Each structure stands twice: as structure tokens, then as C-alpha cells.
Chain A
Amino acid sequence: MSRTDLRDFKRGFDDAFRGFTREYGESIENFFNPLLQFLVWFEKLLISTPWPLMIIIISVLVWAGSRSWVLVVGTVFSLLFIGYLGMWEDTMYTLALVSVATLVCIIIGIPFGILMSKSDRTQAVVTPVLDIMQTIPSFVYLIPILLLLGIGKVPGLIAVCIYAIPPIVRLTNLGIRLVDKDVLEAADAFGASPRQKLWTVQMPLALPNIFAGVNQTIMMALAMVVVAALIGVRGLGMEVLRAVNNQYITLGFMNGMAIVAIAIVFDRVSQKFGKRLQKHTEVIHG
């Protein structure tokens, strides 16, 4: 392609996309409106809940997931520290974003993983797409998202989900494919329909893998918090960004450490929970 051709091509494509945005931008925004409402509602819920109550709720969840007192104590201390250093509200914003993003990833990712496990062709098509989603620099897809939806929570959420969804799709697919053929055959022999097989054998046995996927998805969502802040998502990421812009070392570290603390809690809880799920699924003979 010659230089002029290339320039014309780029310009033509960009113009076409802008045209598309003018035409459909609003309906796309409306489409995502329920998601926005949900995120806003969840943020308000977390922020308006009095902090002592919030700490109790989180502790209970951590205990339910991990059954580890050490982790509960660690979580309580981290939260108290975060509050003491004035980062409570930003932490709640970030928590809301990561929770909703993870939820979206689970709701979309698991069915996709199931579809992918059912056909080798789907797997062959979806795998490279997932590879691209994970490796392409996130700024690249921020551009069309920004053009379409402007600055705000929803574009931030979408950017986070694009980056964070691949592991859950992959591991759902893998988990289902790794299910013991003998057990599947037994389900067939007892006359299980494909749906019954999915719910009584494949999903339960894939669960530990699916959970590993959820864990990775959460970690990746947290890693995207700062990038999301670039397009206007409030929270710890925004503060990090402010610290970068103003060269506030302490502010940067404090907010960074808060993100790390959340990450560690999420990671340990979901790992411990995943391990508990796995306890009986290991086949031991004799």
C-alpha cells in the first residue's frame, strides 16, 4: 500500500467509525444504562454503609470463603488502616468496580467457556480472540470505547472486562474438557441428557478450574483499576493517577498499597475457597 493509500485508508476508517458513533452512540449508551445504574447503586450501597458494619460484613465473607482466622484478622487490619489513612471512600469505589466487573465477567464468561468446550471449532475461533484481548495494549481499545461512550464509569467497566474476561472463559472451557471421560460415560449410561450431564457432572467437576479463572479475573480487574481511572472511573486508581501527575510519592504508594491489600484478600479468599471445592474431586483409588 502506498503512503497516500494508507493515509486515506486510516482516515476513511476513522471517519466511518465516527459516523457510526454519531448514528448509534446513544442507543449503545442506552443499552448499557442498566449496567451503569447497577454500578452506581452498588457504589452508593458500599459507601453509605457505616464503616464498622462494612468491616463486619467483609470479615464474615472472608471467613465464609477461606475459613482462616489469620486472613480475617489481616483483612480487618488492612481495612482499619485504609480508613485511618483517609482512603475508605476510594477503596469502596474500587471494590464496587472490581466486584461488578467480576460479576459481568462471570455472567458472560462462563456461558462462553461452556460453548467453547462443546465444539473444537468454536475453541479454534475463540482462543486467538482471547489471546488478542489479553495482549493488546489496553490504550488501543480505549480509543473506540471512548469514541462510543465518552468518559465515565461504563467505558471504564467495559475496558476492565475486556482485559479481565479471558481467564474465566479459558478455564471454564479447560475445566469442562478435563472432566474424566469415564464419569461422563457413566452419566451417559444412566441416560443423562446433555443438559443433565452439564449440571450434574461437567460443571461441578470443572468448578475448581472455573474458580481458578475467577481468581485470575479478579486479579486482572484490579490491575486495570489505574487504566480505568484514565477514562474517569473514581477510586484508588484515580488517586494513583493524581499522584503521578503531581509527583506525590506518598500518595501514590498509599493508594497502591491499598490496591495490593484488596488484591491479596481477594486472591487468598478465592484460592482457599477453590481448594475447598477441590477436596473431594480428586480421584484416589484403593
Chain B
Amino acid sequence: MASHGIEIKDLYKVFGPNGAKCVEMVKNGMSKAELNEKHGHVLGLKDINISMPAGQIQVVMGLSGSGKSTLIRHINRLIDPTAGAVLYEDVDVCQMSKAELLEFRRHKTAMVFQKFALLPHRTVMHNTVYGLEIQGVDKAEAKKRAQRWIERVGLDGFEDHYPNQLSGGMQQRVGLARALTNDADILLMDEAFSALDPLIRTDMQSVLLDIQQELKKTIVFITHDLDEALRLGDRIAILRDGEVIQQGTGQEIVLNPADGYIADFIKEVNRGRVISVATIMSDTPLEEATKVEVHPDDRLETAAHAMAEQEETRANVRDKSGNLVGSLLLKDTISAMVTAATH
């Protein structure tokens, strides 16, 4: 299945009875606090423009209350926008009729929730077939398809358990299996792993990355955790008070934080896991021999590890097609891993 990107254009959301009128005021520069004080309306999202890449993971990051959940709920229109458009395959989700919207939700999207939102009265299997049941897929066929994903997320043998018999991590595996069984192009994940213990969270991230390798879905992943954002996100957008304050790849954000707020955010980041070899390598391959060769897309941590292992202080960089494209010094690698950004 070919994936498609999601285009979010000039999106505004103002909560309250007179949202449409307030959008004008916000466009004329009224702040969230002022809007709340003077008009009793809550500014949820302001002028959002994000082009979410097809077949990749778009992370939306921000602190609690920054509007992440509001944003992701516009993509399947669980929340109606006050102004703006959400385009998928050149169709504006915000203009769809009720019937079109149901079809869109059934066949194009699937969602995973922070609090799992499983159906407590249904077993793992019956939760997993839920999307297909809503679509009207034949029972036996639905079970067959669900079984595949139940196994894939590691819930083999738990088909007849009820959610309240499972741990949080396992419940979210059910949530993931339920979403994947829907076989939809868009996967929406609202802080899907935030409620889980750190070890289990890392585990689930691996499961997701592994599955994404194979499926190449258009995933929108919400998180408030920078490490998670950097690990999963092909692209990251950072929200604050309902506004996008920076977007780009993880590396772009870590190397060039847009302002002090983001600089603060990334201070503690393990830069070696974010910055790629291509960013700091020199263009000239080495004259002398070295046992270590790395890839331009490798992260610095991997490169440093490879050099240390071989007790070398330099490495050649060879790209996918096998050409030598540059070289890397251990000294530069380490200094790039430890220096903070100049902000």
C-alpha cells in the first residue's frame, strides 16, 4: 500500500461558543492569555502548518497543555477546526460529510490512545477485531487478520484474556494490535507509550520501529518526551501554547534550536544518538589506512564505538553505493557529542 502524506494548512482551533469570531482576533495578534481573560475562549491551536511525510513518522512534541492532543484529533476530526484545512490525498478532512468522515476513519486511519481506551468487556481478540467489525468485515476473516497482529505484538496466547487481566504494557500492545489490524495508512498515536514504565516504553518503541520498517505507514506520534521524539521521529514539530515553534529532523533541531526554550529542552539530550556522521565528517577520505569504516547516516555514538573497538582514532566514510565519501576523526566525533549548542 502506497502511503500518502498529511498536509496541515493554516489550522486554528479556539475552544468556546464564538470560536470563529475569536480566530480573527488571534490572527490580529491577540495572545492565548488575553483571549482567555477578555473573551473566555481557549486558544487550542494557532496557525499550524505541518507537512507530514508519507510513510514516515512525524513526531509532535510539547509540554502538557501545548495542544498536542488537540492537533492529532484534527487529523481524524475527532475535533472540528475553527479555521484551516487538513489535506489527505488532496481531500480536506475538515470538509467531509458525516458519511465520508466515517468511511475515512474506518479505512484510512487508526488510533492508539494514551490511556489505551480498550473495550473492557471484550477479550484481547474481540478488542483487536473491533475496527474490522465496524467496517463490516466477515467475522472469520477479521479473526484471521487480527491473529496475525496479536502474534506480531507478542500477545500470543492472551487472545481470551480481558484487558483488566493484563499489565499496562500488554494493554497497549492490544491497543497497537487493534490499530494495526485496521490496516489503515495513517496511524495516529497520542502519547501512546507515555503511561508505560521506561523499560517497557523502550521496548514498545522498538516494536513500533520494527513494524514501521515493514509497513511504511504515515505515523503521527505525539509525545512529551524528547528522547522518544528523537528516537522515533523522522521529522519533529515542537508545539508551545498551541503554536509550532520549530520543525525539522531531530538533528536539525538539536544542532539549531530555534530559541532558548528549545535549547533548554535539548540540553540533556544524548547528542551522539542524534547527530549523524554526515554532519561532521570532512569531505576527503583518509590517505593512510584505517580498519574502521562507517556510513554517513550512522550516528556519532555508533561511529565512536566502532573506532574505540578497533583502537583507531580515525574512520573512513563509505556511502550506500560503496563510494568513499569522506572521513571522520575520533577527536571531532567526541567533541561534537559533548559540546552544547551555541545558544
Contacts and interface: CB of A to CB of B under 8 A. Distances in A.
A284 B188 CA distance: 24
B115 A182 contact: yes
Nearest to B164: A284
Contacts of A180: 117, 120
Interface in B99-147: 101-107, 109-111, 113, 115-121, 130-131, 133-135
B171 A281 contact: no
Given A185-B117, A282-B164, A285-B171, A191 B103 contact: yes
B339 interface: no
B84 interface: no
A191 B102 contact: yes
B168 A189 contact: no
B182 interface: yes
B111 A183 contact: no
B162 A280 contact: yes
Contacts, number: 79
B78 A185 contact: yes
A286 interface: yes
Given A191-B102, A191-B106, A283-B164, A182 B117 contact: yes
Contacts of A188: 78, 105
Given A189-B111, A190-B106, A280 B164 contact: yes
Given A190-B130, A200-B130, A283 B120 contact: yes
B134 A182 contact: no
A4 interface: no
B182 A183 contact: no
Contact of B113 (A186, A191, A193): A186
Contacts of A286: 167-168
Given A200-B133, A286-B168, A193 B102 contact: yes
A280 B162 CA distance: 7
Given A180-B120, A191-B104, 13 more contacts: A183-B117, A186-B111, A189-B105, A191-B102, A191-B106, A191-B134, A280-B120, A280-B164, A282-B164, A284-B164, A285-B116, A285-B195, A286-B167
Closest 6 CB pairs of A and B: A191-B106, A191-B105, A186-B117, A189-B111, A280-B162, A182-B117
13 contacts: A180-B117, A185-B117, A186-B111, A188-B105, A191-B101, A191-B134, A200-B130, A200-B134, A207-B121, A280-B163, A282-B120, A283-B163, A286-B167
Interface of A: 180, 182-183, 185-193, 196, 200-201, 204-205, 207, 280-286
